[in-house]
Chains A and B, each alone.
Chain A
Amino acid sequence: MSVVTGTIDWLSDGAHWSGEDGVPNRLLEHLGYTALTITIAAAVAMPLGLWIGHTGRLRGLAVVTAGALRALPTLGVLTYASLFTGIGIRAAIFALVLLAVPPLLAGAYSGLEAVDRQTIDAARAVGMTEWQILTKVEVPLALPLIIGGFRSATLQVVATATVAAYIPGPGGLGRYLIDGLAISDYPQVVAGSVVVIVLALVLDGLFVLLQRLALRHRPALVPTSV
């Protein structure tokens, strides 16, 4: 039996679509880890990124730190952390958060940086407070790039959450890949890979739509009434 027909058989077998090891449950776990990771990473990166973008302070440090974090191999961080936390999802979430912070940070500060200085000066001139400038001028104008940061972070996390299954604790779609490899069940490995790839492409498509929507509903670049 070839791997291709084996994969099709695996995917069309009803037994693989229910229960704890079924695709719907693994998919939900995968999305759950992704959502948890992005929430924690955003709680750290968004205030920091917006502050850096608004004030222009510590920008050099942020660029260097984001670059250094990018070079860190996630598998290394994951295995290292899990030897301290033991089996479970804590090490996985920690490694994934480290991965998600740089793109979120970059999206926030580079988004604010791209806002026309004259627009901000105009907002200040008509008497807006710094908080109003941030929330009513800078963030709305920077929204497409901020969403771009979320897109990048989400896709990295979805992709790398499969690697996290190397640790016995976490579920998610990576289980099919790692467990299938361990028992040489290649149809399961390929079927799992296909599901992960489809998930990544669908999420990417959703973010493209979100970015277009943000771009369309962006305030006019020349403010008519502020």
Chain B
Amino acid sequence: MTWFRDNTDKVMDLLLSHVWLSAVPIVLGFVIAVPIGWYANRHPRLRGFLLSVAGVLYTVPSLAFFLILPTIIGTGILAPTNVVVALTVYAVAIMVRSAADAFESVPPPVLDAATATGFAPAGRAFTVELPLAGPVLLAGLRVVAVSTVSLVSVGALIGVSNLGSLFTEGYRTDNTPEILIGVIGIVLLALAYDVLLVLAGRVLMPWSSTRATPRSGLRRLVGGGHA
């Protein structure tokens, strides 16, 4: 651990970029996917199509995705933007399915009751559907957070600085403690996001347990996936 003592500043800088590179896709992914999932749930015919598109996007291997994006969106081949855009696409792909499941889990009688008591469609979506879909949305977001934090490290291969840079540098310089610090840092960061999300869930949804329904959790564990 002497290596860590001598290089604390560097590790902290890399941690900070890692936080940025992962936080932006997690937040963007959530904001983009929730309306799509809501829409997909209301239009059963589109639902299958939207979920298949999400599945296909999630199947694209990450390193290949980082490297092919510049030819699609015109960024520099080694730009951090590629990592952020690719990870946002993955986050949306995972989250759309979660969001569709989440809104599906809201019991229809509750929606009818809301309409009967005078909620306008928009008001009903925000004040009735969204909170009731909350627990399943949160479960999806936790999966997104862990996978995003882990995937950011692949960005080090295209020269985007983050905790994954400790792997490439540690490998080149034959420095096992450096690699170990990187692994520990990434696992701790994933854990920190998870704790933060669970706490946010407790504060925003004090009425519910933050555990996912077993059914949707199960589907998420088995369906799709890669690194």
Q: Which residues of A contact B (CB under 8 A)?
A: 3-4, 7, 66-68, 70-80, 82-83, 99, 103, 106-107, 110-111, 113-114, 145, 148-149, 151-152, 155-156, 158-160, 162-163, 166-167, 174, 177-178, 181, 186, 189-190, 192-194, 196-197, 200-201, 204
Number of interface residues of B (CB under 8 A): 47
**What distance in Å separates the Cβ of B43 from its nearest Cβ neighbour in chain A?**
22
Q: Mark B184-227, 1 if CB is under 8 A from A, else 0.
A: 00110011000000000000000000000000001001111111
Instruction: Report the number of A-B residue pairs with Cβ-Cβ less than 8 Å.
Output: 157
**Nearest A residue (CB) for B164:** A75
Contact of B222 among A67, A145, A160 (CB under 8 A): A145
Contact of A76 among B147, B153, B190, B224 (CB under 8 A): B153
Q: How far is the CA of A178 from the CA of B116 in the complex (A)?
A: 60
Q: A67-B146, A110-B221 are in contact. List 5 more A-B contacts (CB 8 A).
A: A7-B71, A68-B187, A76-B166, A76-B167, A149-B222
Q: Mark B31-75, 1 if CB is under 8 A from A, else 0.
A: 000000000000000000000000110011111110110110000
**Nearest A residue (CB) for B78:** A181
Q: Mark B161-173, 1 if CB is under 8 A from A, else 0.
A: 0001011101100
**Nearest A residue (CB) for B169:** A79
CB of B63 within 8 A of CB of A174, answer yes
Q: Which residues of B contact A200 (CB under 8 A)?
A: 59-61, 226
Any A CB within 8 A of the CB of B156: yes
**What distance in Å separates the Cβ of B124 from its nearest Cβ neighbour in chain A?**
33
Main SS of the interface on chain A? helix
